Chain A
Amino acid sequence: MGRDGTPVGQAEQASVAGEEQEIRPRLWRLAAATSTWIFLVLVVIIAVFSIMNFEAFASVFNLRNIMIDASSLLIVAVAMTFVIITAGIDLSVGSVLVFSQVVAALLMRAMGAEGLGVILAGLAAATVSGLAWGVLNGVLIAKTRMPALIVTLGTLGMAQGAALLLSGGINVRRAVPAELVTTVGIGRLFGEIPYLVLIATGITILGGILLHLTRFGRHTYAIGSNPEAARRAGINVSRHLIKVYAMSGFLAGVAGYLLLARFTTTTIEGHGTTNLQAIAAVVIGGTSLFGGIGTVFGTVVGVFIPAILRNGFIILGVEPFWQQVAVGAVLILAVYVDQLKRRARERA
C-alpha cells in the first residue's frame, strides 16, 4: 500500500472496503445460521440460572455433573448428526447401546471381571457389536432403499429383544473390572476433569473435524443435499451411507461401554428414549431433517440445552417435568426456523 504515489489513506480505505465486502456476507451467514441462534438461547439459559442461583448452579461440582451426564448422549448425537445430514435417521441407537453393553458385560464376566485384558476385550465386544448393527442398518438402507425410519425401527426392536434374550431380562452385574470403573468410569484427570468428559470431548472434536474438514464430511453433505447429483459426480453413495450408519452403531457401542464403566452394570431399561433425545439434540442444533445442512457445534449446543434445563429446574425447585415441555418447544422452534429458511430459499 502507498506505492505508486497513492495516498496511503485512500489505499487503506479501499482495502478496508474490500475486506468488508469479503467479511460481511460471512458474518451475515453466521448470524443467519440456526446454530448461532440456538447457541444464544443456551447462553441465555445459563445466564438466567446463574443469576437465580449462582452458588448452586455455576459451581464446578454442578457443571461437572451436567457434563458427565451429557457425555454418552453427546457421543451418540455426534454420529446422529452425520446420519441426519444424509437425510437419514437412526432410531436403533438406544437399543444398540444396550445390546453392546450386554454383550460386553457378559464377556467380561465370563473372563473373570478383572485385568486389562478383560477391559480391552469388553471394549472390543461393545464396539464390534455396535458396529455390526450399524453395518446391518447401513446395508439395508443403502442397498434395498427402504426408508431409514423403518429399517432402524426394525433393528431397534431386534437389538432390544436380543439384549433381553442374552441377559434374561436382568441387568448384568459383577462384570465390570474395578480398574475400569475407577479410571474411565469415575476417574478424573489431575483430579479435576472426568475421563468420561474427556473422551466425549475428544470424540466430538474428531467428529467435527471429520464432518467439516474432510472429503468424507463433504460427501455426507452432498448425499443429503442431492443423492442423485452425488451419484453422478462419481461418489459411491451406498458405500458412504453404510459407513455413516456403521459409525452410528459403533459410537452407540462406545457410549454403552462408557456407561458400563460408570454404573458398573448394564442399563437395560435406561435407553428407551435415547434415540429421540439424540435426534432432538441434533435437530435443535440446526441440522435439517431434510439433509444437507448441519454442524457438530450445533449438536453440542442441542445436547446441552435439555441437560442444563433439567439441571437448572431441579436446582430452582421447578417441577422437573417442565423440562420436557421446554425442550419440546425449543425443538419445534428449531424445525420451524429450518422450514422458514427453506421456504426463503425456494423463493430465491
Chain B
Amino acid sequence: MSPALPATDGALLEARGVEKSYGHVRALQGTDFEVRPGEVTALVGDNGAGKSTLIKILSGTVQPDGGEIRFEGHPVTIHSPLDARRMGVETVYQDLALAEDLDPAANLFLGREVIRPGLLGALGFIDKRAMRARAAESFATLGIDLQDMDAEVGMLSGGQRQTVAVSRAATWASRVIFMDEPTAALGVVQAERVLDLIRRIRGSGKSVVLISHNLPQVFQIADRIQVLRLGRRVAVFRADEVSMEEVVGAMTGAAGEA
C-alpha cells in the first residue's frame, strides 16, 4: 500500500468532526471515522445513526456541512463520486446500481468502456471483446463463476448480481471499497460467498468498509468495528477483543457514553 502513512494512527481515509443536516434532521453531528489500509472495517449502528450518510459523504455523493476529510493525511474535498474514484475509492450501493439490461462485462465497464485503438476508437467504437476478456479475468481472479457471461444482469440471481456489483468495485478500487448492506438481500449460501469475496479483496491489500445490521456476520469478517449512534461515533473496537453484547451496548447507548 502507500509507503507514507504519517497520518493519525496510520489511517488511509479519515473523517474528523463531519457534520451533515437535512433540514432539521442532524444526520451527522461531528463524527470521526477512520479507514486503515488492508482492513475490513464494519460500520454499525441503529437505524438513523448516520451510517449511510457518512458513507455517502466519503464516497462523494453527498457534501458535508462541516468537518474535515483526509486522504493519506492530506485534507481533501470529495465533490463527486468521480473525485472518490480518482483516489481509488469505489462504492457498492445497496441498490447495486447495475444496468439490468446489459451483460456483466458491460456493467463492469459502465462509464469506463474500453475504446478500440486507432481511428475507430477516435469515433467512439467500443472494444467489446477486450472488455469481455478483462471482465472474465476479473471474475476469475475474484473466484466468481458466472456461467453465462452473455446473460443480461437482470437474468442473474440476487447473489450473482451482488457479486457483479462487488467485483466491479473490486476491479476499479485501488484503495477503499465501501459496501452498504451487501448481504442484506441474500440467502445464507450467497451471503457466505460475498463474505469470501470480501476476504479475497482484503487479501489483495485493499480496505473494505462494510455497513451491516448483521452482527454475527460483522464478527465473522471485520477486523475493526466502529459504532455510530445519533450522528456520532461512540466506540471503536478490535473485533477480536470485544463481545457482541458490548457492541450492542454501544449501539443502543446502554453501555453509557463518555
Chain A interfacial positions (CB closer than 8 Å to B): 25-26, 29, 213-216, 218-219, 221-222, 224-226, 228-230, 232-235, 291-293, 345, 348
Contact = CB atoms under 8 A, between A and B. Distances in A.
B125 A345 contact: no
Interface in B44-94: 61, 81-82, 85, 91, 93
Contacts of A219: 111
Contacts of A25: 148, 150-151
25 contacts: A213-B125, A213-B126, A214-B125, A215-B115, A215-B126, A218-B106, A218-B113, A219-B111, A221-B106, A222-B102, A222-B110, A224-B101, A225-B100, A226-B99, A226-B100, A228-B97, A229-B96, A229-B98, A229-B110, A230-B110, A233-B111, A234-B81, A235-B110, A235-B111, A348-B154
Contacts, number: 79
Nearest to A209: B125
Interface in B203-224: none
Nearest to B154: A345
A232 B97 contact: yes
A230 B99 contact: yes
B175 to A, nearest CB: 18
What's the interface size class on B, roughly? 20 to 34
Interface in B142-183: 148, 150-151, 154-157
Contacts of B113: 215, 218
Contacts of A221: 99, 101-102, 106
Contacts of A230: 99, 110-111
B6 interface: no
B123 A214 contact: yes
B112 interface: yes
B124 interface: yes
A229 B97 contact: yes
A213 B95 CA distance: 28
A243 to B, nearest CB: 12
Given A230-B110, A234-B112, A348-B154, 7 more contacts: A214-B126, A222-B99, A225-B101, A233-B112, A345-B100, A345-B154, A348-B156
B150 A29 contact: yes
Nearest to A234: B111
Given A26-B150, A225-B101, A216 B124 contact: yes
A218 B82 CA distance: 19
| Interface hub of B61, B99, B124 (most chain A Cβ within 10 A) | B99
Nearest to A214: B124
A226 B97 CA distance: 7
A339 B103 CA distance: 20
A76 B110 CA distance: 28
Contacts of A229: 96-99, 110
Nearest to B126: A215
A285 B197 CA distance: 41
A31 to B, nearest CB: 13
A293 B126 contact: no
A154 B157 CA distance: 42
A345 B124 CA distance: 31
A25 B113 CA distance: 24
A229 B99 CA distance: 7
B52 to A, nearest CB: 14
B102 A225 contact: yes
A215 B81 contact: no
Given A230-B111, A345-B154, A293 B61 contact: no
A23 B246 CA distance: 56
